[in-house]
Amino acid sequence: MAKKILVTGGTGYIGSHTVVELQNSGYEVVVVDNLSNSSADVLDNIEKISGIKPAFEQFDLADKAKTDNFFARTPGIEAIIHFAASKAVGESVQKPLMYYRNNLVSLMNLMDCQVKYGVANIVFSSSCTVYGQPDVLPVTEKTPRKDAESPYGNTKRVNEDILSDSIAAHPEITGIALRYFNPIGAHPTAIIGELPLGVPQNLVPFITQTAAGLRDELMVFGDDYDTIDGSAVRDYINVVDLAKAHVVAIARLLEGKNKKNYEIFNLGTGNGLSVLEVVNGFEKATGVKLNYKIVGRRAGDIEKIWADTTFANEELGWKAEKELEETLLSAWLWEKKLRGIK
Ligand code: NAD
Ligand code: WQD
C-alpha cells in the first residue's frame, strides 16, 4: 500500500512541485493549506501533471482544534512535510506577531499531533537565511547560525530549535530540516510555478514580470559589493531539483537510514551567481532583452552566500542537476503561460 504523506502548504510554490514528485514516486499525498498564499486550482494543475488529484483539506494549521481534529480523522499518515508558513521578509517586519503566530504555532500544533497520534517523521522547510552573512564561504551545515535579519528569518531559526528540542524529548520522532538556498524556476510543463502576490520581492519573478511587460525595469540592488561584478551573489536552485530532495529525505526517514534523530541539510547547487549573471543568463536562455538599471543596495541584503552541498550529496545521495539557463527558461515559460504570451 502506498505510504501516506501529509504535505502542509502543498498548494504553494515549493509544496506543489514536491507533491508531484512524491506522487511520481508512488506516495499517497494529503495536502493541508489555508490558501492564504495559493489557490485550490493548483490541485487540478497537479493532477494534469501526475494524473492524480491529491486529497485536500483547507484549514489554518495555527488553529489547534482544527489541526487535532484533522489528525483524529486521518489515520495512517507516516510522515509530514511542513511547508506551510508566511514567507515575505518585508511583511514580517511590519507584522511580526502575525509571522511568529503563524510560523511557530503551526509547527507546535503539528508536533503536538505527532506525539498524540504517533506520526513519527517530519521534514521541515528551513532557509539559508539562518546563516545571515557567513564569515566563511561556502556554508556547511556546521557554519554557525547568526542573529536573524527579520522576524521571518527568526521564525526559521526558532522553528529549527523547536524541532531539535522536541525531538530530543521525544525519541520516537525523527526530523530533517532542509535549508533551502534560493529556489527559482517552474515545472518544465509550465503547469505549476511561483505565483507572487503583488509586486514580487524576489529576483526571478521580478525579471520574468519585467520581460512580460508588467514592470518597466528591473532594479539591480547594488553594484558595489565585493563580488565578481559588484552585484550580490546567491545560490539559485531549481524548484524541481529542490522538490526531489524532499522525496529523498522522506525515504531516508521512512527507511530509518537517518544517522541522527534530527538532521540538517543544505539544499543548493554549490555555485554562487551574481544578480547580473542571472540577468545575462535570462537573456541568453530566452532571447529576451531585459530593461534594468543599477540602484543602491536593498536594506537587509547580505553580500554573498552559497552552499557547500557535500553533506547533502554524500549523505542524501541527492544533487541539483538542472543548469541555470534551463531553469530560467522554465520560469519564463511559466510567466508567458500565466500572461497568455505566445
Ligand atoms: P508559498 O507561500 O508559495 O507556500 C506556502 C503555503 O503555505 C501557501 O500555499 C500558504 O497558503 C500556506 N500556508 C501559510 N500559512 C498557513 C497556515 N497557517 N495553515 C495552512 N496553510 C498555510 O511559499 P513557498 O515559497 O512554497 O515556501 C514554502 C516553505 O519554504 C515556507 O516555509 C518558506 O518559508 C520556505 N522557504 C521558501 C523559500 C523561497 O524563497 N521560496 C526559501 C527558503 C525557505
Ligand atoms: C536575490 C538577489 C537582491 C530583487 C530572500 C529571503 C530569504 C529566502 C529567499 C525564504 C539579492 C537582488 C532582488 C530585485 C535585485 N526566502 N534583487 N532586484 O534576498 O537572497 O532571499 O528569498 O527563506 O529568506 O530573504 O532573494 O530573490 O529577494 O534576491 O537586485 O528586484 O537579487 O538584492 O541580491 P534573497 P531575492
174-188 per-position pLDDT tens digit: 999 999 999 999 999
Structure-block grid coordinates of residue 214: 508588467
Task: Calculate what percentage of the chain has a pLDDT beyond 70.
Answer: 100
Residue of higher predicted confidence among 197 and 246: 246
Q: How far is the CA of 84 from the centre of ligand 1 (A)?
A: 5
249 neighbors 83 (Cβ within 8 angstroms): no
Residues 335 and 211: beta-carbon distance below 8 Å: yes
Which residues line the pocket of ligand 2, CB cutoff 6 A?
87, 89, 127, 129, 153, 182, 201-203, 206, 218-221, 232, 234, 275, 298, 301
pLDDT for 219 equals 98
Q: If you measure from the C-alpha of residue 5 to the centroid of ligand 1, how many angstroms do you get, rounded to a whole number?
A: 17
Model confidence, pTM: 0.99
- DSSP alpha helices (H): ranges in the chain? 13-24, 41-50, 64-72, 89-94, 96-100, 106-117, 151-169, 203-211, 239-254, 275-286, 310-311, 324-339
Preceding omega of 138 cis (within 30 degrees of 0): yes
The closest residue, in CA terms, to atom 10 on ligand 1 is: 37
Percent of the chain residues past pLDDT 90, beyond the cut? 99
Report CA(25)–ligand 1 centroid distance (Å). 22
- The set of long-range contacts for 65-68, using a CB threshold of 8 Å and a minimum separation of 24, is 67/109, 67/110, 67/113, 68/109, 68/112, 68/113, 68/116
Ligand 2, from 145, 147, 203, 290: best to mutate by most atoms within 8 Å of Cβ? 203
Pairing of strands 236-238, 182-184: parallel
Atom index in ligand 1 nearest the CA of residue 182 equals 40
Looking at the chain, the domain(s) classified CATH 3.90.25.10 span 203-234+270-336
Q: Which atom from ligand 1 is nearest to the alpha carbon of 15?
A: 26
Q: Please tell me the CATH superfamily of domain 4-184+236-267, with its number.
A: NAD(P)-binding Rossmann-like Domain (3.40.50.720)
Q: Whose CA is nearest to atom 29 of ligand 1?
A: 83
Residue owning the nearest CA to atom 25 of ligand 2: 89
Please give the pLDDT value at position 260.
98
- Of the pLDDT bands very low, low, confident and very high (cuts 50, 70, 90), residue 1 is confident
Our mutation pick for probing the ligand 2 site, out of 93, 206, 234, counting the most ligand atoms within 8 A of Cβ, is: 234
pLDDT of residue 27: 98
Distance CA 140, CA 176 (A): 15
**Phi and psi angles of residue 37, each rounded to the nearest 5 degrees, phi first:** -140, 30
Q: Determine the angle formed by the axes of helices 324-339 and 203-211, rounding to 10 degrees.
A: 50
Task: Report residues whose beta carbon is within 6 angstroms of any ligand 1 atom.
Answer: 9, 11-15, 33-38, 60-62, 83-87, 102, 106, 125, 127, 180, 182-183
For residue 5, what is its C-alpha cell?
A: 504523506
CATH of domain 203-234+270-336: 3.90.25.10
For the CA of 194, the nearest atom of ligand 1: 3
- 79 closest CA partner among 170, 145, 4, 23: 4
The per-residue pLDDT of the chain, averaged, comes to 98
CA of 284 to the centre of ligand 1 (A): 30
Task: List all residues 6 or more positions away from 79 whose beta carbon is below 8 Å from its beta carbon.
Answer: 3, 5, 6, 119, 120, 121, 122, 123, 250, 253, 254
DSSP-derived pairing of the beta strands 174-180 and 262-267:
parallel
184 secondary structure, DSSP code = E
Interval 7-34 mean pLDDT: 99
Grid cell digits, residue 172: 520516537
Q: Give the pLDDT confidence score for residue 257 in this predicted structure.
A: 98
Does the structure show a pLDDT above 90 at 278? yes
Positions annotated as catalytic residues are 152
Instruction: Tell me where in the chain the CATH 3.40.50.720 domain(s) lie.
Output: 4-184+236-267
pLDDT of 58 > 90? The answer is: yes
Helix axes 275-286, 203-211, angle to 10 degrees: 40
